[in-house]
Amino acid sequence: MTVVRSRRRRHDRDDTVRSFYQSALSAAEREDLPQARDIQGLDEEIAVLRLRLRSALEDHPENMKLMLKGIEMLTRAISAKYRLSKDAKADLSAGIKGVLKEIGGRVYPEGLGDIAGDESD
**pLDDT of 54 above 70:** yes
Provide the number of structural domains found in the chain. 3
Assess contact for 12 and 4: CB atoms under 8 A: no
Residues 101 and 121 in one domain: yes
Assess contact for 98 and 121: CB atoms under 8 A: yes
Residues 45 and 77 in one domain: yes
pLDDT digits 0-9 by tens, 111-120: 655 544 444 4
Residue 118 bridge partners (DSSP): 115
Q: How much is the pTM?
A: 0.52
CA-based radius of gyration for the chain: 23
Residues 79 and 97 in one domain: no
Assess contact for 78 and 109: CB atoms under 8 A: no
pLDDT digits 0-9 by tens, 1-24: 555 555 555 556 666 656 788 888
Residues 67 and 88 in one domain: no
Residues 1 and 26 in one domain: yes
Residue 58 is part of which domain span? Answer: 41-83
Q: DSSP assignment, residue 115?
A: B
Sequence-separated (6 or more) residues with CB below 8 Å from residue 100: 112, 115
Residues 97 and 69 in one domain: no
Assess contact for 62 and 68: CB atoms under 8 A: no
Residues 46 and 78 in one domain: yes
pLDDT digits 0-9 by tens, 73-101: 999 898 888 887 778 878 878 887 787 77
Residues 68 and 92 in one domain: no
